[in-house]
Structure 1
């Protein structure tokens, strides 16, 4: 329940602190006195957006703080889920800074507006004339039926599965788009990959083939150079090997005379060994070197294949071509992977459909059972409210679509008088009838809801006299199950309250402020008498007011 409200620097309110009881509270006041300001302040606490126009003094911040007694309403899980400190007396504070920025706190922990709005759904329902019009909306009508049908657990399960279904459906759509894009390239990618695989490319192959090609293209020149080199090295008289052997022999004779000569001898010996190795290898090269036009043709063909592939793929090495080959292979494998993923998600969707259909069917069955109960209860209350011939009819039809609240579409049909045909509620009900129907709905929901507080903002629009009395009685009975506020212009309703608050304006120089005051019993008599007869209160109005209060 709303235990207290503190407002500072908001609209016409400089400073206001007020405590509330858990019973039936009345709020009255002249038009423009500030009743809408109170609702606006509560709206900010419940998560509505704010702006600088809300500040009375644009140089000071606005602070609105509401205390809620929530010990009876099992909200611990909500606080734990949102990582908030649970307190039996929970304090919600909203601050609007002169810069235009706003901040919100729950038990001194900062929260965003979405979290505040989510919490407010468990705390307070402000029923305005706008909400009376919501009675014509299909979504609101379904919510009323679901409250009677106790469909909340099923709806929670349905919404969770629906979210998973929509997520899987979006993922499936995304995968199909990816597959379509890849499939368009698949044939060409397959061709490119096959071309690269046929080339049988190997790392370092290009350099090796270019070297072989260079040799085969210069066989005669190489052979001539090798033969000349071998002849110079191995001539029996003037050959380099023979001369090195003689030098080695001469140095050997004197190598024992000094370390320097020994060093010269060893160096020449090493040179001779190295040169003889070179000679052997040159000889082997000369023996292997043959003019092989067929091999040259094959080498050049392979090189031409490599050069052509490099040009096509705009790269400069076989290594780059091998990377492209791997990527193409991966793309083709990805198509297969996508098909497997698509199949898996399609199976998931089919399972989700079975689950959703089962839950939606149970929701629909519960609604069908609840509708006669709801219609009977509404009619009983409307008889009390002067509508004995009112008739309701809910038409419920099942669709193939998964809607936010199941697969049902609902139309509420209404007839106010005998002999008149049923019509859509929004088209055939008057403003006064809509107010009474909404009050009947709220009174019924009070028996099924655990909502702590409801505020009726002029739900008595379009009614008067005995009907107003009955409306007041119904709200009074509702207050035995929840905290009820009624903002009213009707004295018949005002007299029903356990507490009566008056909103009024006062002036201090050129400054106008709104204030809220809890009326004493004598002040209530005067206020209700004034509501009956205006500013000039007659004895008759005073007596009438006392009678209403008694």
Structure 2
């Protein structure tokens, strides 16, 4: 519950501080005094869009039992502060928070009903209400709903994958063709590691072989003097082995060179140059022969992956076709539960609606392609009239009836803010609305602006807002002041004795 409101510099309020009680809190006072300004300050503190902002607004409240946040550390006594300087900033327990995050955090705990608001009867909200009622009392439905949502989430995920594959099919064909082209191009050349280095060496040798052969023809004359040199060593009684070994090595080298020359002469020079050109092209594109070979293996893996994608597509199509059939069956089962529960809600609502001077309400169900919520579109008829044709007053009386009929089920309590919800209604309707709101105040802390005596008389706390010299103030009334204020609501600024007596009667 909200325990305290403090604000400074808001429209005609220089400063205001109010401590609130549990149950029904009613604001009354002359038109234009500032009741809606105070209500808008409370709403703005919970992230609702309202005109204007106070220089400072501070709301203290007891933390709702199930209110938790991973983003913010919350005290048992929560403080929400709104500060307006150059721009409006929001804080919760001293931590900066956006208006949107504030609204989302308190959406389940702070509800707002205005006579100008005709929301709340959208299909998803009606289904959520019926679902909440079922989940609270039917274990079979709870299990069925859990299974449906789990399987639908899997189905949706797989459907997204399939759609992605289908969107990429044109690109996939291009990717497959490109990968095959790259692999075939490298495989056609079939490069070997270090082959380019070896061919470059052969090319270098080919460029020198004619010169080597020419020089060797003159150099072989060295062997003509071999025997003479050995004879000199013998006559000198010296060891000729060093000379002999050296000359044998020269002979071996010359023979190897001649053999290489013969091999080179048999080689196809053009073929070698073409091979080098291919290898150089690979190196220029991929960096090295090793990189080209690695790239080829990567493309081969891609081709295998693309083949798997085709298989995945076929498997996904089969899964989705079969799962769609199963989900349709589950959605129909959910619909049967919902329609049965809707009849039960209609029965429970009948007395509340009758008390509010409203005709009976009926839920209508229309089938749609299944989605996360099932296959139902839900609407309501009030005495044969569709929801979008109801007046704002009728809307809010129906919503009050729905709230009252579900107390103890999905309603978790919290704060309910009502803006002139009993405006423009007859006396009997005003009494019925006051009775309904009083019943709801056993679960909710309710803030209501009212110009009717019956709701004011039911209040657990009655606040009056007055304005003098363009300055507004708010204060809580004692018992005598409450009777006087109710009499003013009945008969105007100068109430009659009959109005005072009627006010006393309403309070008793």
TM-score by length of structure 1 reads 0.78
**What is residue 234 of structure 1 aligned with on the other side?**
223
What does residue range 457-468 of structure 1 map to in structure 2 within 5 Å?
457-468=419-430
For residues 144-543 of structure 1, what are the structure 2 equivalents within 5 Å?
144-150=129-135, 162-163=152-153, 165-216=155-206, 219-229=209-219, 231=220, 233-236=222-225, 277=249, 279-290=251-262, 292-293=265-266, 295-296=268-269, 298-306=271-279, 310=282, 314=285, 318-319=289-290, 321-339=292-310, 342=313, 357=328, 360-387=331-358, 390-403=359-372, 405-415=373-383, 422-427=384-389, 429-448=390-409, 449-507=411-469, 512-543=470-501
Say which is worse superposed, 26-35 or 485-494, in terms of deviation. 26-35
1:479 Cα deviation after fit: 1.9
Per-residue Cα deviation, 1:33-64 (whole angstroms, up to 9, x for no partner): 2222223222232224689x5244xxxxx242
Instruction: Give, in whole Å, the separation in 2 of the partners of 1:38 and 1:495.
Output: 20
Query: Which residue does the alignment assign to 2:113?
Result: 127
Q: What is the aligned partner in structure 2 of residue 32 from structure 1?
A: 32
Aligned residues: 501
Can you list the C-alpha shifts for 1:468-508, whole angstroms capped at 9, x where unaligned? 1111111112222332232211112211212211223344x
Are positions 1:65 and 2:62 aligned together?
A: no
The CA deviation string for residues 147-184 of structure 1, in whole angstroms up to 9 with x for no partner, is 43337967677666655544443344334444541322
Match of 1:259 in 2: none
1:138 corresponds to 2:119:
no
Alpha-carbon distance change, 82 to 314 in structure 1, aligned in 2, over 3 angstroms: closer
Q: Is the 8 A contact 1:124 1:453 kept in 2?
A: yes
Distance 1:272 1:423, change over 3 A: farther
Mapped to 1, the partners of 2:202 and 2:408 lie a distance apart of: 96
Taking the aligned partners of 1:352 and 1:278, their CA distance within structure 2 comes to 85
Distance (Å, rounded) in 1 between the aligned partners of 2:40 and 2:366? 39
Do the aligned residues in 1 keep the contact of 2:89 with 2:96 (CA within 8 Å)? Answer: no
CA distance in 1, matches of 2:98, 2:150: 23
Partners of 1:156 and 1:49 lie apart in 2 by: 35
The Cα of 1:381 is off from its aligned counterpart by: 1.6
State how far apart, in whole Å, the 1-side matches of 2:30 and 2:478 are: 18
Instruction: Tell me the secondary structure at the aligned position of residue 103 of structure 1.
Output: strand
- Equivalents in 2 of 1:6, 1:488: separation in Å? 22
CA–CA separation in structure 1 for the residues paired with 2:282 and 2:445: 82
Higher mean C-alpha displacement, 330-339 vs 450-459 = 330-339
Mapped to 1, the partners of 2:468 and 2:211 lie a distance apart of 118
Alignment pair present for 1:102 and 2:89: yes
Q: Which has the higher contact order (CA 8 A, sep 6+)?
A: 2
1: CA distance, partners of 2:232 / 2:493: 145
| Aligned counterparts of 1:18 and 1:491: Cα–Cα separation in 2 | 22
Superposition deviation, residue 284 in structure 1: 0.9
The answer to whether the 8 Å contact 1:431/1:462 transfers is: no
Task: Compute the displacement of 1:128 (Å).
Answer: 1.8
Structure 2 distance, partners of 1:192, 1:37, is 73
How well do the aligned residues superpose, as a CA RMSD in angstroms?
A: 3.9
Q: Structure 1 residues 7, 335: CA separation in 2 closer, same or farther (over 3 Å shift)?
A: same
- Cα distance in 2, alignment partners of residues 208 and 35 from structure 1: 96
Cα-to-partner distance string for 1:215-268 (whole Å, 9 max, x where unaligned): 456654442233333x154341699xx59x989x99x89xxxxxxxxxxxxxx9
Quote how far apart the aligned CAs of 1:354 are. Answer: 7.3
State how far apart, in whole Å, the 2-side matches of 1:516 and 1:283 are: 120
d(CA) in 2 for partners of 1:33 and 1:275?
Answer: 126
Partners of 1:48 and 1:386 lie apart in 2 by: 31
**TM-aligned CA distance change 1:279 to 1:10, over 3 Å:** farther
Q: TM-score, normalised by structure 2?
A: 0.84
Is the Cα contact below 8 Å between 1:443 and 1:474 reproduced in 2? yes
- Tell me the distance in 1 between the aligned counterparts of 2:29 and 2:244: 123
Q: After TM superposition, give the deviation of residue 296 of structure 1 in Å.
A: 3.7
Change (3 A) 1:486 1:97: closer
SS at match of 1:4: strand
